[in-house]
Amino acid sequence: MKNRYVPLSVVLMGLSLYGVAQPTTVAFLHAIPPSDGNHPAATLPGPQRTPYTRTPDGRTQPLNQTVARRITGQVLDENNAGLPGVSVIEKGTQNGTSTDANGNFVLNVADEATTLTVSSVGYVTQDVAITNQTTLSIKLVPDNRTLNEVVVIGYQTIRKRDVTGANDVINPAQSNKVTANSLAESIQGLSPGVTVRNTGVPGQQASIQIRGVASFLNTDPLYVIDGMIADANPTINNDDIESIQVLKDASAAAIYGSRAANGVIIITTKQGREGAPRVSFSAKYGVQDIYKRWNVTDAAGFAALQRQQYQNSGQTPPASVAEGTFNPAINTDWQDQVLRTGSLQDYNLSLSGGTKTGTYLISGSYFKNAGYVIGSDFDRASLRINTRNELGRFTVGENLVLTNSNIQNFPAGNPIYDMAGFLPVIPVQDPRYVNATNPQGYGIGTYPDAVTYAFNPVAARNLASNRSNFAKAVGNAYLDFKFADWLSYRFNAGLEVSFDYTQNLRQIGVYQYNAAPVPSSVGEDRSRYYSLLFEHTLNFNRAFGKHSINGVVGISQQTARRDNTAGSRTNLATSGGTYFPTIDAASGISNSAGGTPTYYKILGYLGRVNYAYNDKYLLTLTGRIDQDSRFGANYRTGFFPSVAAAWRISQEDFFKVDWLSDLKVSASYGKLGIVVPTLGSFPYTAFINNNPRAIFGVDQTANVGAYQAQLANPDLRWEQRLSQNYGVTASFLNNRITAEINYYNSLSTDALLNLPVPGYLGNLQGNPYVNTASIRNQGIEFSATYRSSNQQDFKWDVSGNFTTIKNRVENVGNQGQNIDYIQSGNTRSQVGSPIGRWYVLKTNGIFQTQEEINNYRGPNGQLIQPNAKPGDIRYVDQLTVDTNNDGIPDQGDGQITQNDDRQFVGSPWPKLQAGAQFNGSYKGFSLNLQFLGIFGYTVYNDVRRGLDSYQNTNFRADVNPWSPTNTGGNDPRLGLETGDQGIVSNNFPYTDRWLEDASYVRLRNVEIGYTLPAAFLSRVKVRGARVFVSGQNLFTVTGYSGLDPDITGANIQERGVDNGHWPSPRVISVGITGDF
């Protein structure tokens, strides 16, 4: 009986149509019983296919060919530089290979072979006669039809030269060089107008804003992955990315309408390519730490300073530091206890290939980050399957990724803050601390010997845990039908599903001084999220004469729902000291149980038309109508239009400059929307709390009642952003130099704020959201690239970009009488100023003598700081009194108060941010450098505030307190707050004493690589291989005294508060990539 064979790729992909995936490898044939005997071996019904095998160097060739000779050569571009990734195929067969990074190739061909077909995107395909030659030098000619880069702009791909809006292309070859937990972290400094603030917490996403801040409540951009609107940061494996497009202005982003005001990031993942199966792999391992530590005192230094502090206040030092009782053997370095050498592992493996009618890619990855802080870990495993198949006018495909992520968070407190302030005279553990509430004897301090209110971070790590698991699937399937060469239809169905689980576990024990004892407990939070997307679009592209028009129209519907349940219980069951971390095994009263469902649906009608006349005059019209279930009937529908125009001056007959390759000016204007996720499902309606208890009646029993918990706002609607952009793009010297500059100006209107409403009006659960505020952002973006003349052995290019971003609050609505601001801690968002600008008391040095204090008087002769002593901070009496009734304060009131004497000092928003990249290669060696610079912003160093308060904390090792014998000291005098109002005033939290210029320049990444020679690799049956070593965040030049000037605050109005921000780590890694 005859057997027939099916390629393994067909079995794996489950394809039902043989024409979609023809056999391309016989090295992996699988025999199956034939259904009849009418077909010869190694074939299936359908077009005749040639079976293939592997040559000794790992290439594929037809089974019936005999390897007779070996062809080597190099493929060059128009500048005589080696071209990588060029397809070289023996004509008439599928025996082929591709060039390495230097354009070299090796191919074994049959003796009768006469021609090689050489092809590459952007170049004219050539047939090269080989006759008796064994060494070739092939030069490809640019194909003007495909030379221009194609970019994705949302439901369309067009030539980059035809783009009228502001968008940017980020090369994954640059971003992937950074070992990062998330996509946002990897693109820092690579695109103008894109602000990324990183964190060193494993698994935590970096903060990202595009062109400033458009909202008080939501600054996150919209992510679109292969056509599916989804959250990219925890999902995407950076190695899977083929291209990254950033849509910045209204013309580029309006196609996404109500969700595009914060910008759009479009991610396209890798696809299989025509040719024999290709196996690619990469592996990277690195170690990480922080390049700087807090400069704090050891036990001896702490004891000396605290003795002086108590003596200055006329009190007896505690036993832990007093002469004769101080124990120098207890000298805990809490930074050593908290910090460790972390590690990074990143592994990727993919199989790809295909035919003219179908391609496939299967990839798997594993990423693990053991953080530099004890008890902090993150790992992610993912599997991706992308396929594309053509059958006549139909094309079907899918892009699917499955991920499973685990995060181990530090369970309590902030170890970066606590390791600075916890006292070195307290041991990690000590039998003296053992009692019923602290059975492990963790050091937490005792009164009055050693008091601190920081957490013992080792105890927190060992007594509690916080871990999360996220299982997620994101993908889409599509069907294309080509009506004609100029008209096509696409149906796109997308899905995002996530199953999330978080567990909090607490053992018996304490990790903070004077903390109330708590029982053991366990809490669990489970949620299920799904999002369904269905889209129908028509794309058209026609050219007639000097006119060309293309565009897209369509309809999009997305439905999302999250169901959440949570519960907790105390008094865990134990056995032999081991806790059973389940709610069922606990015996205490349930502390909480409940659930929160959220739901929304968006229906959109979209369209875009691009028109060009003679490749010189370009016009783009875009619009989208969205309907959102989260808003009331009056404001459920919104229209988001944009218009853009461009003029390619370089195409004009009167403008012919030899050294100018291209020059285009453009302008755009449009409206975009923002939906704030915290609104919930039905924010326009009132909710009734049907579970309150009221005690009344003769029996005084608790009776169930009901009340309206929060005021409703039926007029809630989208936040809107009116955006305008003016740009110039140019290229010079045959495109060796490219540059682009844009000026943007946007006004966000109807921004949401919580307006103050008294609780007695039925608003006990918070103030209602109202569309009342407005914010303006404006600035300049510039980017440029220079590419060398590409000598054969040495090639290099350098790129740079910078951005200026200025935001200003235009309106905050009715916050109260004569109140045109929003106060948040030590910041104020006031009309006419940036969001969250520092609003603090200004200091003016230190009082050196009592005479200076006596001479510092108000307008009526009163002492401005009557409680001050020499060595105390002098504060500026702000001008608050209008003596001539002209509406402008011209005199202080003679006293210092934290309400009346604050003023604006600095801003957390940079005046300038810049990035620079260098790529160079010489033969097989390569060098990549990435620099990042942020300038003109200030950070509030809250850790230094804690240390320099001198109260129940460690000290800076370089503290220089004023004293009668040290009048040059730049820090205030040492003393206790008790009974000393001068010391209390020195420690006012809202002062510029803690503000620091945080401008910095950082070597973001350096990588040195070597590509192994093709001649060597061919002997070991490897297509290509590269080894590299890289360093990340190797040095930072800054005047900031904290651990890292790259600060991300907890909320938008306190963006620059460093209260123990986890610094970006320094990483040293080695790796290898290869292709088979």
SS3 for 363-419 is EEEEEEEECCECCCEEEEEEEEEEEEEEECCEEEEEEEEEEEEEEEECCCCCHHHHH
Contact assessment for residue 362 and residue 21, using Cβ atoms and an 8 Å cutoff = no
Helix (H, G, I), strand (E, B) or coil at 842: coil
Contact assessment for residue 877 and residue 901, using Cβ atoms and an 8 Å cutoff = yes
Question: How open is the CA angle 875-877-882, to the nearest 5 degrees?
Answer: 170
Q: Identify the CA nearest to 648 among candidates 668, 629, 663.
A: 663
Residues forming a β-bridge with 797:
787, 919
Q: Identify the CA nearest to 408 among candidates 371, 365, 444, 462.
A: 371
Within 623-697, residue ranges assigned H as helices are none
Note the pLDDT of residue 792.
Answer: 63
Q: Which two tokens stand for residue 930?
A: 């990435």
Q: Which two tokens stand for residue 695?
A: 């005690």
Note the pLDDT of residue 46.
Answer: 39
Q: Which two tokens stand for residue 186?
A: 């990897």
Q: Identify the CA nearest to 249 among candidates 239, 260, 258.
A: 260
**Separation between Cα atoms, residue 153 and residue 164, nearest integer Å:** 11
Note the pLDDT of residue 590.
Answer: 66
Burial of 641 (0-12, 13-18, 19+ CB in 10 A): middle
Contact assessment for residue 893 and residue 900, using Cβ atoms and an 8 Å cutoff = yes
Burial of 760 (0-12, 13-18, 19+ CB in 10 A): exposed
**Main-chain phi, psi angles of 274, to 5 degrees:** -60, 135
Q: Identify the CA nearest to 261 among candidates 247, 275, 276, 240.
A: 247
DSSP 308: H
**Separation between Cα atoms, residue 909 and residue 936, nearest integer Å:** 8
DSSP states of 518-541 as a string?
---EEEEEEEEEEEEEEEEEEEEE
**Separation between Cα atoms, residue 168 and residue 933, nearest integer Å:** 19
Helix (H, G, I), strand (E, B) or coil at 220: coil
Domain boundaries defined on the chain = 1-49, 843-904
Q: Identify the CA nearest to 2 among candidates 38, 28, 26.
A: 38
Distance of CA 147 to the CA centre of its chain: 32
Given a cut of 50, the residues of the chain with pLDDT beneath it are: 1-66, 144-147
**Separation between Cα atoms, residue 71 and residue 130, nearest integer Å:** 9
Q: How many CA atoms lie within 13 A of 320 on its CB side?
A: 21
The letter for the amino acid at 813 is G
Count CB neighbours of 1068 within 10 A. 15
Contact assessment for residue 888 and residue 874, using Cβ atoms and an 8 Å cutoff = no
Q: Which two tokens stand for residue 693?
A: 């208890």
| Long-range pairs, 825-832, Cβ under 8 A, ≥24 | 825/990, 825/1053, 825/1054, 825/1057, 826/940, 826/989, 826/990, 826/1054, 826/1057, 827/908, 827/1053, 827/1054, 828/902, 828/904, 829/216, 829/1053, 830/904, 832/808
**Separation between Cα atoms, residue 1031 and residue 1004, nearest integer Å:** 8
Count CB neighbours of 494 within 10 A. 24
**Separation between Cα atoms, residue 1063 and residue 455, nearest integer Å:** 19
User: CA of 355: how far to CAs of 60, 397, 710, 958, in Å?
Assistant: 14, 14, 61, 68
**Separation between Cα atoms, residue 341 and residue 362, nearest integer Å:** 34
Tell me the pLDDT tens digit for each residue of 829-876.
999 999 999 999 999 999 999 999 999 999 999 999 999 999 999 999
Contact assessment for residue 229 and residue 222, using Cβ atoms and an 8 Å cutoff = yes
Q: Specify the DSSP element, H or E, that contains 245.
A: strand 241-247
Count CB neighbours of 237 within 10 A. 22
Contact assessment for residue 288 and residue 1066, using Cβ atoms and an 8 Å cutoff = yes
Contact assessment for residue 578 and residue 552, using Cβ atoms and an 8 Å cutoff = no
**Separation between Cα atoms, residue 670 and residue 214, nearest integer Å:** 14
Phi/psi-derived region of residue 906, left when phi > 0, alpha when psi is between -120 and 50, beta in every other case:
left
Helix (H, G, I), strand (E, B) or coil at 583: coil
The letter for the amino acid at 869 is K
Note the pLDDT of residue 59.
Answer: 45
DSSP 463: H
**Separation between Cα atoms, residue 252 and residue 242, nearest integer Å:** 20
Burial of 358 (0-12, 13-18, 19+ CB in 10 A): buried
Contact assessment for residue 728 and residue 759, using Cβ atoms and an 8 Å cutoff = no
Q: Are strands 104-110 and 135-139 parallel, antiparallel or unpaired?
A: unpaired
Q: What global pTM score does this model have?
A: 0.84
The letter for the amino acid at 495 is L
Q: Which residues does 784 contact at the CB level (< 8 Å), separation at least 6?
A: 737, 738, 739, 740, 799, 800, 801
Within 128-276, residue ranges assigned H as helices are 172-175, 183-186, 250-253
User: CA of 1036: how far to CAs of 335, 710, 1002, 1058, 1065, in Å?
Assistant: 21, 48, 4, 17, 11
Q: Which residues of 98-120 are buried (b: 16+ CB within 10 A; e: fewer)?
A: bbbbbbbbbbbbbeebebbbbbb
Note the pLDDT of residue 9.
Answer: 35
